[in-house]
Structure 1
Amino acid sequence: MSPRAQDVADTAATGAAELYDELAYVFDGTLEGLFSAVFVSYERHEDPADVLPEGGLQARLGQHLSRIDADPERAGRVRAGFRAACGAKALAYAERAALSDEPGAPAAVFRYIRHGMALNASRGCARCRRRRSCPGASNPQGRPGRAHCPKVRGAMASDLAHPVIGAVHRLARSVFVEREHLLQFIRFEQLEDGLWLARCSPKANAVPLVMDHFAGRLNDQPFVIYDEAHRLAGVYDGRSWVLAPVDGLAEDALPGRTAEEAVMQQAWRRFYRAVAVESRYNPELRQRLMPQRFWRHLTEMQEDLPALATR
């Protein structure tokens, strides 16, 4: 082979190696799986270019995929370590942002946790004014104390100009807004077996964030909140609640609605129309304050209420 041909072959081989040299983690889409991926990245001394949920996997050309299994013990260690390093508020931002449906949310939370741990590891306590009273100050051997640094905690909670921190705060805010929408627009209907059922289709996995609220409001009444978009059901039995994956709810498998429920739905619909002021009708404002994706589950927005079974 001529020297020129050899150079071309070496260049092609190098390009091929670089083409398939990008690492991406794939996890099961749960919060435990994402935190387990953080643990594995430290354990293997790896820095993946992307972190992808299994359900919405869209790998780019040249990515080498590494499957990460969810491990509750590892996830718990990451959660505890990040909270100790950056504070409970930063952990809340990370957990809330991880519930977002945006494609880059897992990778953003992954970078956020790594960034916070790096800030805590590189903190300088020698010239800090709070060194004598701070429980997180480094000891003479250079090892940090057991508490998180107030400077790191403040940066992770308020440094929105940083691209890593700002991205997670934006995702967390969007999930919080979706939680508020669920609190406003969820409508329960009573079934004959005493169960209360509500359906919704949020654009974030926000049902876990509203279960405590409705458990407190309904007290000992069992209920189910079914998220059609994420195929997830929050089930409350009157004492505690759990999350369960559900492929779908078959209408013929559900008990019929009670007669009282029929009366209440009709009464609520009449009240909604009676209090409306026709001269002040503003469809643009209503659509902005009441997103249209919730309309098909709202009793007052249905033109014809479904027939009520009597079993």
Structure 2
Amino acid sequence: MKTQKLKYDGTFEGLLTAIFTVYEERLSSAHIIEERFFEPDFFSELITVFTDENKASRVWEGLKSFQQFRTSVYRSFLSGLPDKEVHILDAIQYVLKTKNDKDYGHPSVLKMAQITKQIGREKHRMEAFVRFKRTKDDIYVAIIEPDFNVLPLIAKHFKNRYADQQFVIYDRSRSYGIFYDLNSVQFIELDFNDTVLKEALHDEEKHYDEMWQDYFISTGIKSRINKKLHLRNVPKRYWKYLNEKKPL
């Protein structure tokens, strides 16, 4: 029997539509794959999935009784890992069949729980380490490169924390960002890099960086520096976000 390869558009709704298709067509050997990673072969049957909001909603509603597991499904999708669809489909099929969403003896359920924990840790670190720069247009901008696609998870935090200022957080690794216009958060696509940001910065930003560095140095007590503890709490890969470590 040929494997059925379900090619979808890479959106979360597209993935849920593909899962709906697996149940609707009663596919017994399905493999869901994002279209950008799809490679045709002679041993598989291609099924192109077109995103359907209604079908996606029905799958999402079907998982309503398993709130923690639903979180794992969404966060596993945001991981961007190449085999995420395999674990998500396998886990959903198991949970819907057994009604046991906390059986970590099941490989896919365990894998998704582990991914969810990793993404949660990345989310909290982004919320702690993101630093904004003020532009000449009075929009505050931050460029990040998280391991996972956490922008959808941190948007609410920054909207609540900086409700009185317009801001952009741009994910350089994934070439998109979020923009808060004082009313709502929107997802945006733009060509953005450090050079563009430097040219757009407000003149006072350089002085703020210098002042912050001076404060950081003057308040530090050399005899109490614990480098190992510091690296554990603030890993080096986050230093590029911090004014006191690497100002623009």
Alignment of 1:118-157 (within 5 A): 118-119=97-98, 152=99, 155-156=100-101
Alignment of 1:205-284 (within 5 A): 205-249=149-193, 251-252=195-196, 256-284=200-228
CA drift of 1:294 comes to 2.4
Report the equivalent of 1:95: 74
| Structure 2 CA distance for partners of 1:57 and 1:296, relative to 1, 3 Å | farther
CA drift of 1:178 comes to 0.8
Q: Per the alignment, in what secondary structure is the counterpart of residue 171 of structure 1?
A: helix
2:110 pairs with one of 166, 171, 189: 166
CA RMSD, Structure 1 to Structure 2 (Å): 2.5
Max Rg structure:
1
How many pairs does the alignment contain? 248
1:115 pairs with one of 82, 94, 103: 94
Under a length normalisation based on structure 2, what TM-score does the superposition of the two structures give?
0.88
Q: Does 1:26 align with 2:7?
A: yes
Under a length normalisation based on structure 1, what TM-score does the superposition of the two structures give?
0.72
| Structure 2 CA distance for partners of 1:175 and 1:47, relative to 1, 3 Å | farther
Structure 1, residues 150-196: CA drift from partner, whole Å, max 9, x if none?
A: xx3xx31x322222211111111111111011011101111111101
Q: Does 1:287 align with 2:231?
A: yes
How far, CA to CA, are the matches of 2:29 and 2:216 in structure 1? 53
Asked whether the 8 Å contact 2:175–2:191 carries over to 1, the reply is yes
Tell me the percent identity.
25
How far, CA to CA, are the matches of 2:229 and 2:41 in structure 1? 40
How far, CA to CA, are the matches of 1:277 and 1:254 in structure 2? 32
| Structure 2 CA distance for partners of 1:247 and 1:257, relative to 1, 3 Å | closer
Instruction: Structure 2: give runs of 5+ residues left out of the alignment.
Output: none
Report the equivalent of 2:119: 175
Asked whether the 8 Å contact 2:22–2:30 carries over to 1, the reply is no
Structure 1, residues 182-214: CA drift from partner, whole Å, max 9, x if none?
A: 011101111111101011100111011011010
Q: Per the alignment, in what secondary structure is the counterpart of residue 299 of structure 1?
A: coil
Q: Per the alignment, in what secondary structure is the counterpart of residue 161 of structure 2?
A: helix
Asked whether the 8 Å contact 2:18–2:49 carries over to 1, the reply is yes
Instruction: Structure 1: give runs of 5+ residues left out of the alignment.
Output: 1-17, 120-151, 307-311
Asked whether the 8 Å contact 1:101–1:203 carries over to 2, the reply is no
How far, CA to CA, are the matches of 1:281 and 1:101 in structure 2? 37
| Structure 2 CA distance for partners of 1:29 and 1:285, relative to 1, 3 Å | farther
| Structure 2 CA distance for partners of 1:59 and 1:82, relative to 1, 3 Å | farther
Residue identity opposite 2:8 in structure 1: F
More off after superposition, 254-263 vs 54-63: 54-63
How far, CA to CA, are the matches of 2:201 and 2:115 in structure 1? 38
Report the equivalent of 1:70: 51
CA drift of 1:296 comes to 2.3
How far, CA to CA, are the matches of 2:219 and 2:228 in structure 1? 19
